[in-house]
Structure 1
Amino acid sequence: MFMNPVRTVGWLIIALLVTVIFGGIGVYQARTYFGGETVSAHVDHCETHRVYSRHGSHNETDCSGTWTTKDGSKHEGDIPGTDFSDEGHDVQLRALGDSVVEDNAVGALWPFIVSGIGVLLTIGAAFAVRSARRRSREMRAAPAYAGPPPGYRPPTQYGPPPPAYPQQYGQPYQGPPQGRPQPGPPQYGAPQYGPPAYPPQGQPPQGGYPPPGYPQQPGGYPRT
């Protein structure tokens, strides 16, 4: 299927943006996860709000709270990976100053998964752009259609009629066998009625035959 080069370039740009944005978020959260310390954060308040996008809308729950690092500094901000069930309770996080992430690798490093998908999409979109451009160049370089070649006739709906008599495959048709008429419409004429004459042509009569009134010569019924 031929793809529009402009559309494939658009998909390539989107894939690059996904890779760069989520890769940057992943680096930031990986720094907090690997360079931070484990803290106990208290979830003070949670609220739900409606988020709208071009594909629809959905509800999101954000929770905020406070935590204290080893140097005695008290921090506050959003608590990731929490909901209304955690309100008023303590959760364990990894903190680096004011930055916190969940205290598990999947929750902290999930942006790298999205970024990896973006890399695969970027590679696929790059190949699609290359293929679309090559196809576009081939179509521009192809000569214009000059019509059918000389002597060309479009095929008929039905093939050639079969031969009148069977023949051996691979041999040209030699006509009907000797003494056999060509096929054609039946010959019409006066019908011959009545029984055949007795005796048959060229045969001697037998005693007691023919019965009375039977014709002696070929043709017709006896006159009455």
Structure 2
Amino acid sequence: YAAAFGVMAYTSIWLQTMLGMSPVRGGLVFVWLSLASFVVAAAGGRLLHGVPARLTIGGGLLLIAAGQFCMAFLDAGSGASTLVPGLLLVGVGTGLVSPGIAGAALAAVPAERSGMAGGAVNTFRQLGYALGIAVFGTVLTSRMEDTLPHDAAHGLAGGAAGALRGVFGEHALRASFASGLNAAAVAAGAVAAVAGVLVLALVRAERGGRNAGVTDSAPPALKEEEAVPAPPYRR
């Protein structure tokens, strides 16, 4: 989640302060990611039935990495449409990773602890958001400091472009912000790529021949309870 969404806070600032979009229009740019994620997650339950979770999670992370790398080619003249291919790839990857992680977490614990597993997944999801914004924000401002003073770089990343336009030219501000976003996207893509490779290489298949797929991921105890028929009714 850090790799998928950590850069988006700054992308939203770029859309509004550099491209002049309203908050609503800037938010609608990310609909491409949301639609792709929704479609893949909804269809994945049927199409990926029985596929091991390590493949869906690892493959999804690699798609997120590819999407971030696609968004690392901004320049002073780039528009919102430049982001669309990368957003679609990140959305597809997220649609694979999210149900895969949830299913793997539930499959790893007894049925009576499924609530704990779901809570842990949500906790780490929120932690990923927070860490991603902090880490990739540091990468963004560090790159922007190559062309702008320290205070100006931090102000631009925080949405204070209006106050800086009287000191720096529009082209310089756009080029600096685009360069920072490119660096942050590359860092996010690298994190996702490494995570995907580690999942594919280190996560082992389920013991006993049971594959924890996207839809076939219920805990064993729950499946056994569902398989036991109810006792016959007696007077």
TM-score by length of 2: 0.28
Larger RCO: Structure 1 or Structure 2 (Cα < 8 Å, ≥ 6 residues apart)? 2
Structure with greater proportional strand content: 1
Structure with greater proportional helix content: 2
The structure with more radius of gyration: 1
